[in-house]
């Protein structure tokens, strides 16, 4: 998806407070009047948060997709751009009705309409929904007749919105393609944006499967494999390296092949299968036993597949691979040590 030079056609701002705290809901009657340069800046800044986001979601509903409110409002905009103002107000009302947790902050809600977003060699319409909850103090220096006047202003960096989603007019019968971000993605109060307001579920594509299989593997190696089977840090690092190397060196994933190459031992394989069952059940989704590997997901997860051995409060050893070059032992006085072999300093 190319997010450069994407034209923003319409932008409207509402204010949604916390309904449970009796905060107000303020609806704008019309879109903002802006020139072409301003729309270009706004559009690129809004979309910049999705630049490295590869996990797609789709709108859903326990009964039927037709009952998902945001899905229907976006569908109305895609069908008739003249319905933008009314649909955006309905989106704001729906968000307000879901803002019930006492910790949810009120803020401006920006609804944007793009009519030509390049996606997979074709142009798609898109609706962006963004919310600001935290503001920053800025220094505004203005030149005047008597020198430079300095004022303190409160505002938001346009590229640092707190919450956002981008609804792309692709696969409408399946709930559209949806990208999201949420700076406050932990805690009960954070669930309202993704679960209550949008009601979206991950698309079970190659990115989804690759990302979650890697997350599952890392949690297993650094959790049950250590606590239940007594695997030490050095061997953990080796298994982490083998896991990520499998995904880097293969174009497709096969669960039996992966388990044999990485864990080998039957007890470890059985423990991995048991942990995988609990992982998918607690996260309420299934993972495919075979799938094409997403290089984007591997690149994203590689950052967390670095093992760190923490030695008291004095040293951290970062292990990226070649655990055969690390020797662990205890000297005659009972002091523990690691001996590291290397070719040259870098």
CB 56 within 8 Å of CB 200: no
Q: Name, in order, each residue with C-beta under 8 angstroms of 198's C-beta and a sequence gap of 6 or more.
A: 57, 59, 70, 165, 178, 180
pLDDT per residue rounded down to tens, the chain (346 residues): 555 556 799 999 999 999 999 999 999 999 999 888 888 888 888 988 888 788 899 999 999 999 999 999 999 999 999 999 999 999 999 999 999 999 899 999 999 999 988 887 788 999 999 999 988 888 888 888 778 988 888 888 887 889 999 999 999 999 999 999 988 766 666 688 999 999 999 898 899 999 999 999 988 988 887 777 777 777 787 888 889 899 999 999 999 999 999 998 888 899 999 998 888 888 777 778 899 999 989 988 877 766 666 677 777 777 666 667 777 788 888 888 878 888 887 7
CB 124 within 8 Å of CB 172: no
Angle at 25 between CA 22 and CA 28, to 5 degrees: 165
Could you give phi then psi for residue 232, rounded to 5 degrees? -80, 170
pLDDT of residue 127: 97
Q: Could you state, in order of their start, the residue ranges of all structural domains in the chain?
A: 8-133+160-202, 206-340
d(Cα 185, Cα 291) in Å, to the nearest integer? 28
pLDDT of residue 1: 59
Helix spans in the chain (H): 36-47, 69-79, 84-98, 191, 206-222, 224-227, 233-249, 255-262, 266-283, 295-302
d(Cα 200, Cα 155) in Å, to the nearest integer? 30
Q: Which two tokens stand for residue 74?
A: 């976006």
* 252-254 and 163-168 beta bridge pairing: unpaired
Q: Name, in order, each residue with C-beta under 8 angstroms of 170's C-beta and a sequence gap of 6 or more.
A: 119, 124, 176, 177
């Amino acid at each position: 998806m190319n997010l450069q030079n994407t034209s923003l056609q319409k932008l409207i701002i509402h204010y949604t407070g916390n309904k449970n705290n009796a905060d107000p809901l303020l609806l704008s009657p019309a879109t903002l009047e802006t020139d072409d340069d301003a729309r270009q800046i706004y559009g690129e800044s809004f979309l910049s948060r999705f630049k490295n986001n590869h996990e797609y979601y789709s709108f859903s509903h326990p009964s039927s997709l037709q009952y998902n409110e945001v899905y229907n409002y976006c569908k109305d905009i895609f069908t008739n751009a003249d319905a933008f103002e009314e649909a955006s107000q309905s989106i704001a009302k729906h968000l307000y009705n879901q803002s019930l947790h006492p910790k949810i902050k009120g803020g401006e809600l920006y609804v944007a309409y793009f009519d030509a977003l390049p996606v997979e060699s074709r142009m798609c319409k898109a609706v962006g929904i963004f919310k600001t909850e935290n503001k920053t103090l800025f220094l505004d220096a203005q030149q005047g007749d008597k020198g430079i006047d300095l004022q303190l202003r409160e505002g938001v960096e346009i590229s640092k919105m707190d919450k956002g989603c981008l609804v792309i007019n692709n696969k409408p019968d399946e709930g559209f393609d949806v990208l999201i971000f949420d700076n406050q993605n932990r805690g009960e109060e954070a669930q309202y944006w993704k679960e209550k307001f949008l009601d979206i579920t991950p698309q079970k594509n190659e990115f989804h499967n690759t990302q979650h299989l890697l997350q599952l593997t890392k949690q297993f190696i650094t959790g049950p494999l250590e606590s239940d089977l007594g695997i030490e840090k050095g061997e953990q690092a080796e298994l982490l390296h083998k896991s990520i190397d499998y995904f880097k060196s293969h174009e497709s994933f096969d669960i039996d092949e992966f388990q044999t190459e990485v864990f080998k031992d039957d007890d470890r394989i059985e423990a991995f299968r048991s942990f995988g069952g609990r992982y998918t059940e607690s996260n309420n989704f299934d993972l495919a036993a075979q799938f094409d590997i997403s290089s984007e997901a591997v690149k994203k997860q590689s950052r967390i597949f670095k093992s760190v051995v923490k030695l008291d409060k004095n040293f951290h050893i970062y292990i990226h691979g070649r655990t055969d070059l690390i020797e662990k032992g205890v000297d005659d006085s009972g002091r523990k040590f690691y001996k590291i072999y290397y070719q040259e300093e870098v």
